[in-house]
Amino acid sequence: MKGSARLGFALQWGVGPILVAVLAALSGHAGGGGEPASAWTDAAARSEAGRKALEGVPALAIANATWALGSLDAVKKMMRSELDRLPETEGKLRARVFLRFGIVDTNPDGQAAVFNLACASDASICDRLKEAAERETSARYVAPGNQLPLYFFGGHP
In a domain, 39, yes or no: no
**Is 16 in the same domain as 85?**
no
In a domain, 36, yes or no: no
**Is 15 in the same domain as 92?**
no
In a domain, 153, yes or no: no
**Is 17 in the same domain as 67?**
no
> Between residues 141 and 23, which one has the greater pLDDT?
141
Q: What is the pLDDT of residue 95?
A: 94
By mean pLDDT, which of 31-45, 72-86, 140-154 is the weakest?
31-45
**Is 62 in the same domain as 122?**
yes
- Structural domain boundaries, residue 16: 1-30
Structurally, the chain folds into a number of domains equal to: 2
Encode the chain in three state secondary structure. CHHHHHHHHHHHHHHHHHHHHHHHHHHHHHHHCCCCCHHHHHHHHCCHHHHHHHHCHHHHHHHHHHHHHCCHHHHHHHHHHHHHHCCCCCHHHHHHHHHHHHHHCCCHHHHHHHHHHHHHHCHHHHHHHHHHHHHHHHCCCCCCCCCCCHHHCCCCC
How many residues are present in the chain?
Answer: 157
Q: What pTM was estimated for this model as a whole? A: 0.66
In a domain, 155, yes or no: no
